[in-house]
Amino acid sequence: MGVTQSSSATYRTACLDDVERMKELGVQGWETTYSDFVHEHNRRKYLNGDFWSLDRLREVVADPDAINLMAEQNSQVVGFINTEKLPDGRYEITRLYVDAETRGSGIGRRLMELTFDELKRRGASEVLVNAFGDNHAGRRFYERHGFELIEDTWTTVGDQTLSDVWYAVSLN
Ligand SMILES: CC(C)(COP(=O)(O)OP(=O)(O)OC[C@H]1O[C@@H](n2cnc3c(N)ncnc32)[C@H](O)[C@@H]1OP(=O)(O)O)[C@@H](O)C(=O)NCCC(=O)NCCS
């Protein structure tokens, strides 16, 4: 996509220089939203693992099958979304984080809408997302945008076993 303007924020495709800020927003998201249910040592372990490594984020940004959008306000990146193509051809929103100071102003919704537009353009019919079962604000956000629970399972983070939920929404 080119550059899109909406409610004082600007949206653009991510580039390799964005990965450090992505990681920063991810760490902040984990510290603000997940600290209630993921213990500190497990948060640290996960954030230092492959999923949040700068190399992994660079791979995602460079992947032509992925959709990676950044939101900027006052020349500062305040949010981002990564959507990756799964081996079975479906798509998954793998990271969606908005700066804690800027949450609740529609940036998350716009990042998702722009992603949906691009997915439809590519002919995708469905998108998946995964959240911790105890991430109630995140779950409400997805449910308000039409996502339906498809699997209620468990995942391991360090030495904790945590509720893990999967949602899907049809793009048709
Ligand atoms: C989930 C998240 C991406 C949503 O981004 P956002 O920019 O706050 O989203 P929006 O402003 O579009 O919508 C947030 C909703 O919560 C409400 N809200 C109000 N104040 C809010 C606040 N301080 N924080 C979050 N949401 C708030 C909004 O009114 C809105 O409700 P609506 O959809 O009924 O209008 C963001 O809260 C976030 O980064 N959370 C931490 C990480 C996370 O949980 N990510 C999802 C991973 S599974």
Enclosing domain of residue 88: 4-124
The reply to whether 119 falls in a domain is yes
Name the residue of 8, 32, 46, 98 to mutate for ligand 1: max ligand atoms within 8 A of Cβ.
Answer: 98
**Tens digits of per-residue pLDDT, 87-120?**
999 999 999 999 999 999 999 999 999 999 999 9
Which CATH number characterizes residue 97's domain?
A: 3.40.630.30
> What are 76-96's pLDDT values in tens digits?
999 999 999 999 999 999 999
Residue at 99 is within a domain: yes
With respect to residue 89, please indicate whether it lies within any of the assigned structural domains.
yes
Looking at residue 172, what is its pLDDT?
83
Residue 115 Cβ contacting ligand 1 at under 6 Å:
no
User: How far is CA 128 from its chain centroid?
Assistant: 11
| Number of domains, the chain | 1
In a domain, 81, yes or no: yes
Asked if residue 23 belongs to a domain, the reply is yes
Residue nearest to atom 36 of ligand 1 (CA): 98
Structure tokens at 55: 């190399």
Residue 155 falls within a domain, yes or no? no
| pLDDT for residue 8 | 86
- How far apart are the CA of 164 and the centre of ligand 1, in A? 19
- Stated as kind and residue range, the H or E segment containing 165 is strand 160-170
Is residue 55 assigned to a domain?
Answer: yes
In a domain, 38, yes or no: yes
Number of H helices and number of E strands within the chain?
5, 8
Indicate if the pLDDT at residue 5 is higher than 60: no
Residue 109 CB–ligand 1 contact under 6 Å: yes
DSSP string, 85-150: E-TTS-EEEEEEEE-GGGTTSSHHHHHHHHHHHHHHHTT--EEEEEEETT-HHHHHHHHHTT-EEE
Asked if 95 and 29 count as a contact pair (C-beta separation under 8 A), the reply is: no
Whether the per-residue pLDDT at 65 is higher than 90: the answer is yes
- Measured in whole angstroms, the distance separating CA 68 from the mean position of its chain's CA atoms is 9
Whole-prediction pTM value? 0.93
**Closest C-alpha to ligand 1, atom 37:** 103
